[in-house]
Amino acid sequence: MKLNLKVWRQKNAKVKGQFESYQVVANEHMSFLEMLDVLNESLVSGQKEPVAFEHDCREGICGTCNLVINGQPHGPQNGTTTCQLHMRHFKDGQTIVIEPFRAKAFPVLKDLVVDRSAFDRIIQAGGYVSVDTGQAPDGNTIPIGKDVAGQAFEAAACIGCGACVAACPNSSAMLFVGAKISHLALLPQGEVEAKKRAQKMVHQMDEEGFGMCSNITACEAECPKGISVENIARMNREYIGASFTSQDK
């Protein structure tokens, strides 16, 4: 299948970028990233600069393959990351527009690669869990209800890819932060630092320049792991509760 690609090229965050057009021949069984590999092979063969893009596991686990494809974070296939998207979801002769995640807090490093270290700093602001669970059998002696454990596991499934930020018109990171706060807030192991965790992570989120929740739930729709916006509500409850009860001013 022959495809027309419009790919965002940008040398770095300080230089203005632009779309450049390419043609590539791909197999419908290729993944989207394999198609980009084919494009780069042809560019290198022609002594041209290859397109920079991020990838690691290529199994939908690491969250680094952050691309906006035809206006959708990770592309048209629901519940998948870019590396799990296959070319059979596109048509012969189709034009595909490929660009990086757009957010003030995600500056472009080069071409399709953005700096998502803001997420790392939010996680670091949350601190650590001080509960000593000992060995695995000892940790399992803490009784946790099945429903609660399930909710915590679903929140912990967030891979931090940033699709929620790219999908939100306000570039909000509240789904990501809500998921990270929720999976510990639901478990007894996370109770000790609960108040400080919510306050510090929300404060760091604001410091990084992310916007407020737009309430249109595009973040949940585009999330490859289907993280629920209920986690945003839980984050708000944790933050408001901490603001009223915390001794730290």
**CA distance linking residue 156 with residue 164, whole number of Å:** 15
Shared-domain flag, residues 179 and 225? yes
- pLDDT at residue 136, rounded to an integer: 67
- pLDDT at residue 85, rounded to an integer: 96
* pLDDT band (50, 70, 90) for residue 247: low
Q: Output the domain CATH number for residue 9.
A: 3.10.20.30
Element (H, E) at 24: strand 18-25
Quick one: average pLDDT of 82-108? 96
Shared-domain flag, residues 240 and 123? yes
> What does the block give as tokens for 213?
């929740």
**CA distance linking residue 243 with residue 231, whole number of Å:** 18
Shared-domain flag, residues 229 and 133? yes
* pLDDT band (50, 70, 90) for residue 244: confident
Q: Which stretches of 6-89 are DSSP H helices? A: 32-45
Given 47, 80, 110, which residue is the final one in a domain?
Answer: 110
Shared-domain flag, residues 79 and 151? no
Shared-domain flag, residues 132 and 225? yes
| Of 142 and 86, more confident | 86
**CA distance linking residue 21 with residue 33, whole number of Å:** 17
Given 59, 88, 110, which residue is the final one in a domain?
Answer: 110
Given 91, 110, 129, which residue is the final one in a domain?
Answer: 110
Shared-domain flag, residues 133 and 70? no
Interior/surface letters 159-177, b for 16+ CB within 10 angstroms, e for the rest: bbbbbbbbbbeebbbbbbb
Shared-domain flag, residues 122 and 238? yes
- pLDDT at residue 191, rounded to an integer: 85
Shared-domain flag, residues 165 and 236? yes
- pLDDT at residue 130, rounded to an integer: 78
Specify the pTM.
0.92
Shared-domain flag, residues 45 and 89? yes
Instruction: Give the angle subtended at the CA of 176 by the CAs of 233 and 13, to the nearest 5°.
Output: 135
Task: List strands edge to edge, sheet with 72-73.
Answer: 18-25, 2-9, 95-100, 67-69, 72-73
Q: Output the domain CATH number for residue 136.
A: 1.10.1060.10
Query: Per residue in 131-184, pLDDT tens?
Result: 776 776 666 677 889 999 999 999 999 999 999 999 999 999 999 999 999 999
Shared-domain flag, residues 121 and 238? yes
What proportion of the chain, given as a percentage, has pLDDT over 90? 84
Quick one: average pLDDT of 21-50? 97
* pLDDT band (50, 70, 90) for residue 13: confident
Domain that holds residue 158: 117-245
Number of domains in the chain: 2
Shared-domain flag, residues 124 and 225? yes
Q: Which long-range contacts (CB under 8 A, 24 or more apart) does 114-120 make?
A: 114/66, 114/162, 115/13, 116/66, 116/160, 116/162, 118/173, 118/208, 118/209, 118/210, 119/160, 119/162, 119/173, 119/176
Shared-domain flag, residues 152 and 57? no
Query: Per residue in 112-136, pLDDT tens?
Result: 999 999 999 999 999 888 777 677 6
**Does the pLDDT at position 249 exceed 50?**
no
